[in-house]
Amino acid sequence: MRNIVVGAMALLLAGAAGAAGAAEREDRWPRAQDPTWVLPEGWQAHSSVVAELGYARFDGLGLSGNASADGTGLSVDARFGIAAGFVLSVGGEYWWLGDAARTDVDFGYLRAGVGYQHRLAERAQAGAEIGVQSQTGQAFFGEERVRQDNEYARLWLRTGLGHRAVLSVSTTLGTGYRAAALGCELALPVPRLSLGLTGRIGEAEDTGFWSVGPSLRYAFGT
């Protein structure tokens, strides 16, 4: 019986010594940790898709330059955050119009660009992007006035108004196109969705236009 007790005590002491040695080796050689990505303070990878649908009116359409047309305008812009504030942007706008002579005319712009955005405050962001744009649809301005595959630049600012509202301002300058937009959005009970009202005014191929209508935004990524 004595030999059994002595043997058990020896095994316990050996196990304790082995565990202490393993712990010492683990402290000396720490386990490899998964790499983590830390973005600079104040920057974020934020993505969103915004769609605007509303009434649009153009003045001075056609080769004569004195016709007017109105109808429906659709604008879609998607920004995909990469990292450190850099974004990829795709989108454009399109109009389905009719003039006084009941002639249907439609055209629009497609755009793709790159840019960055910066968080100015808790609920305020500013951004800029540059890219290329191309006109699509009927060339009712006259072939000699239509410009294809040219550049554009855009600046935008978003800032919080109260608890759920956001004010957005943007300006777009392109070859044969320039416009400014002002909108106000209200967060919906559905997460990441907001509903707003947006007005836009500008010129396309030296033709003045304006539009107003509701907008829907889906935001994702932080």
More confident residue, 104 or 44: 104
Q: What is the pLDDT of residues 36-91, one digit of tens each?
A: 555 555 455 678 999 999 999 988 765 445 578 889 999 999 999 887 789 999 99
Q: What is the pLDDT of residues 15-26, one digit of tens each?
A: 445 545 544 544
Q: What is the pLDDT of residues 176-217, one digit of tens each?
A: 889 999 999 999 999 899 999 999 999 987 789 999 999 999
String of DSSP letters for the chain: -HHHHHHHHHHHHHHHHHHHHHHHHHHHSPPPPPP---PPTT----EEEEEEEEEEEEEEETTTS-EEEEEEEEEEEEEEE-STTEEEEEEEEEEEEEETT--EEEEEEEEEEEEEEEEEETTEEEEEEEEEEEEEE--TT-TTT---SEEEEEEEEEEEETTTEEEEEEEEEETTEEEEEEEEEEE-SSTTEEEEEEEEEEEETTEEEEEEEEEEEEEE--
